[in-house]
Amino acid sequence: MCLTGVDYFSTLGYQPGIAALAAGALSPVATLLLVALTLFGALPTYRAVAEQSPNGLGSLSMLERLLPGWGGKLLVLFLLGFVATAFIVTITLSAADATAHILHNPFVPHSWAGAQVPVTLVLIAALGGVFLAGFSEAISIAVVLVATYLLLNLVVVGTAVQRVLAHPEQVTSWQNVLAADYSSPVAMVAVALYVMPKLALGLSGFETGVAVMPLVKGKLAERIRARASC
């Protein structure tokens, strides 16, 4: 679960920045819609996909069964190209975001200021080295990273809640900005839905999760139930 969740978790790590650039003051609303899409859209969909492809082939195998012959094979090959592209984009974007955090850390030497590309390439190479070392090693590292990530998120969320409680006028100012920029709540939702594709990069993690279902221990029904709960 941690290994397949890294894709989604990494997107959540830089999602606030993407939302702020794409939606501005509307970014909290857009983020809530993304969470709703995940819980009530992607999760039920991939629960059904897990039941239909228990051997781990995911939605691509379902499409191949619907279109047998060369037509189905060409469609799957075409879609795999998109999956590979999304995978590379996600890795690169996550590594670049990690580089920004590293270089802006006050404990990092100032001489590294212009080393964005080398640091990003080193991080990507390290990720490749982890998978070359072995799948079990990758899972072990993912568990540690995800646990640390969730712990740090508790700190961030707790600090944010404390700041809002200490300065409630900031919430009032935000509401005033929304009321001035948008005519109604319907307009807010419409704009949030328009920028949604820019915020939903991590949803590809669901397909990755279904793809590794054979690694879940247990009988077929147990593997489906475990993967769906993840």
pLDDT value, residue 207: 64
Lowest mean pLDDT among 113-122, 139-148, 184-193: 139-148
pTM of the model: 0.67
Residue 2 predicted with pLDDT over 70? no
Cβ atoms of 28 and 164 closer than 8 Å: no
Residue 131 predicted with pLDDT over 60? yes
pLDDT value, residue 167: 92
User: Which residue do the tokens 């830089």 mark?
Assistant: 14
Q: What is the mean pLDDT of the chain?
A: 79
Burial per residue of 98-127, b for 16 or more beta-carbon CB atoms within 10 angstroms, e otherwise: bbeebbeeeeeeeeeeebeeebbeebbeeb
More confident residue, 2 or 174: 174
